Every structure is written in C-alpha cells, then in structure tokens.
A = this chain, B = another copy of it.
C-alpha cells in the first residue's frame, strides 16, 4: 500500500490527512497554527506532525509518495511564497524547507487552487476535468482547472475570480483596492452589505429587520419567502452570474462548483446564480453545469494529496 499526506495550512489551524494513493483518508487531524514570530514555527510543526504520524503508523518511507501542501498565499512553481498575511510569513521556501526536513517530495500550491483540485477529485466536481471552483467565504476565492491541471498563472493570480469587475460604476472599494469586484457582492461580507443597503432603501417589511445581517440570515429569510431577502438574493445572483459568464467565455468549463460558507444555504444559492448565468451567458456556454462543493473543510486535504499524486 502506498500513502501520501495532504496538508492544508490555514491561519488558525493546520489540517493534515494521511491518505492512500487511491484517495481514501486513513486518518486526519489538526495542529494549531502558530503565527507569532513571522510564522517561524509553522513548517517545523507540520514536519513534526508528519514524522510523528509516520512513526505512529509504522509506515515505511519507501511507501510514502510525498506531501502536498496548500497555503493561503500565491505560490510560485518552485514552491516559494512571497509573503502570507494570514501566516505571518515573508519570503519562504516552503517546498525547499519541507523537503530538506522530511526527505520526501513536497508540492506546494495556493489553498483556493488546492481546494478546487480536491473538489474535482472527490467532491462536487468529481468526474469533470475542466472546472472552475468558486469559494464564497469572507472573500470570494477560486480555482481554475483545465484538463485536470490547476491554472496557477504567471504571478500565482490564476483563479482570482473574486476580483472580476462586474460593476464599473461602483464607488466603494474592494479589499484589493479596486472597485466593482464580484467579491463586493457575492462574498459573505458582500451579501451582508447588500442586505444593509437594501433595508435602508425603504420601509418594506422584512423578517430581516432587526436581525444580524449575514449570508445565512438572508438565505434563511429567502426560504421563508421574504420578499426583501429575495431582492437581495437577486442582486447577489446578478453579480455572481455575470462574473461567471465572463469566466465561461475565457476558459469554458464543464462545471462551476460553488463552495464556501455562503454555499451552505444549499441549492437555493445555485438557483439565483444559474438564473442570471443563463440570462447573461454567451450562447456556447449555456450548457455549463453547476454543482455545490461537498468536501467542506476536507477539500484542502484531498486537493493537496492529489497534487503530490499527480506530480
């Protein structure tokens, strides 16, 4: 039996998985991410976690294919990170340092791209080779996969789909400094903002009034047939649907896989996005499929494992 490790380094915890080469998780566990001191402890901690597991499971080194790692930062082809705000890292030779310490092959990728690969392999995109993953969380992230391979991009900015401009008239600024990014309307934060603006517009009754505004409360209200919530969801669907039509004419995927916290509201989220995708789509893209992500927090572990298996 051959094994590999999938590692998903986040700002709070590192998720680790020991998998078979066929993609079954044998065991998964977490260690805390220590971001102090420019995140100097992170790589040693991950290395120790892997070494301890190898010892505990008495796995022969020759049976370990290698280690895949996802990190919240752009990553060069050589596995180098040039700064990660979430981890405290400045310049860091992640692949080099880990291979040196572990004496195993290591591949490093951006966490959003890695999650996309995970969903393609074992999740909502299983069976597809051309897919675009859209992660609707605090921001909007994503990953573009063409013929089974992640499009990393020249500057590690491939699949930065949160920053497709969908509203040239916007005056509020996105966290990236631009205006009109789809992230400003389709992230959890963006939906809460749309909700606040809609509620202030007039006095129309809504169960959202007086509630904490979030993607969850908005879609819960949609499910209760709240008209104001429906209008907010339409606005969300319009902007995200438009962004996805622009992505479709560039890379023409088989499927969009929608994940992240916002997607937990379920198929109702897809319905609003697909409605506007169909409205704005180029005719050749109208057959594009939509699916919900299914792996949740394990997408990174699966995707990281897949990266090293594909190497």
Is residue A80 contacting chain B, with contact meaning CB distance below 8 A?
no
Please state the number of chain copies in the assembly: 2
**Contact at B253–A154, with CB atoms within 8 Å?**
yes
**Contact at A250–B144, with CB atoms within 8 Å?**
yes
Question: Which of A169, A245, A248 has the largest count of B CB atoms less than 10 A from its CB?
Answer: A248
**Contact at B246–A153, with CB atoms within 8 Å?**
no
Q: Helix, strand, loop or mixed for chain A's interface?
A: loop
Question: Which chain B residue lies CB-closest to A289?
Answer: B154
**A250 in contact with B251 given A165-B280, A283-B177, A284-B74 (CB within 8 Å):** yes
**Contact at A157–B74, with CB atoms within 8 Å?**
no
Within 8 A of B (CB), among A151-190: 151-161, 163-169, 176-178
- The CA-CA distance from A178 to B246 in the complex, in Å, is 12
- The CA-CA distance from A146 to B151 in the complex, in Å, is 8
- The CA-CA distance from A178 to B279 in the complex, in Å, is 9
**Contact at A155–B287, with CB atoms within 8 Å?**
yes
Question: Which chain B residue lies CB-closest to A179?
Answer: B280
> Could you say which of B146, B153, B167, B242 contacts A252, with CB atoms under 8 Å apart?
B153
**Contact at B242–A168, with CB atoms within 8 Å?**
yes
CB distance from A171 to the nearest CB of B (A): 15
Is residue A97 contacting chain B, with contact meaning CB distance below 8 A?
no
**Contact at A130–B155, with CB atoms within 8 Å?**
no
Task: Please report A residues at the B interface, Cβ cutoff 8 Å.
Answer: 74, 130, 144, 146, 151-161, 163-169, 176-178, 242, 245-254, 280, 282-285, 287-288
Q: Which 8 pairs show the lowest CB-CB distances between chains A and B?
A: A153-B252, A157-B284, A157-B252, A160-B249, A158-B252, A163-B282, A154-B254, A155-B284
